Amino acid sequence: MKIAHLGIAVKNLADALAPYEALLGGHDVHRETVEDQGVAVAMLPVGESHIELLEPTRPDSPIAKFLASRGEGLHHVCFEVDDIEAELARLKASGVRLIDQLPRAGANGCRVAFIHPKSTSGVLIELSQPMTSRD
């Protein structure tokens, strides 16, 4: 397992991108809208991991709700896994509270699932299985 990315909730992607591009070099920035989660995403590489900036695309998206209650800032930590179904089953059997019982579509063709922050000391955890390790 490794840290795939750190997700940061932002009000405006263009405004947020400039300082992060200055910080990280601004090369290979991947942008995408994930309709399922109501977010526009910008992924900035940093070593083997990424910084994921998240702007809500609709008022009922989880990121919009997060911004309304907590403001901009660190939203989640994402761990990359090889077999997301197996990880979810293992966590469930260990009594860890899951938000997603089944994986759903994430950015970059990944399949993702979230663990409830009540189980992880207040930090929202995302598990992500890359498209490439599916076969």
Residues of span 63-92 touching Co ion by CB under 5 A: 78
CB of 108 to Co ion, least distance (A): 10
Contacts of 33 (CB under 8 A, 6+ apart): 39, 40, 41, 57
Please say which residue, 2 or 93, places its beta carbon nearer to Co ion.
2
State the Cα–Cα distance between residues 41 and 52, nearest whole angstrom. Answer: 7
Min dist. Cβ of residue 89 to Co ion (A): 21
Distance CA 131, CA 77 (A): 19
Q: How far, rounded to the nearest angstrom, does the alpha carbon of residue 65 sit from its chain's CA centroid?
A: 15
Cβ atoms of 13 and 42 within 8 Å: the answer is: yes
Q: Does 9 bind Co ion (CB under 5 A)?
A: no
Please tell me whether residue 39 binds Co ion under the rule CB under 5 A: no
The CB-of-6 to Co ion minimum distance in angstroms stands at 8
- The site string for Co ion over 86-125 (x = CB under 5 A, - otherwise) reads ----------------------------------------
Q: In terms of CB distance, is 53 or 95 closer to Co ion?
A: 53
7 binds Co ion (CB under 5 A): yes
Distance separating alpha carbons of residues 109 and 130, to the nearest angstrom: 7
Least spacing, CB of residue 8 vs Co ion, in Å: 10
- Residue 114 has φ and ψ, to the nearest 5°, of -110, 145
- Please name the residues in contact with 92: beta carbons below 8 A apart, sequence gap of 6 or more: 98, 101
Which residues lie near Co ion (CB under 5 A)? Answer: 7, 52, 78, 126
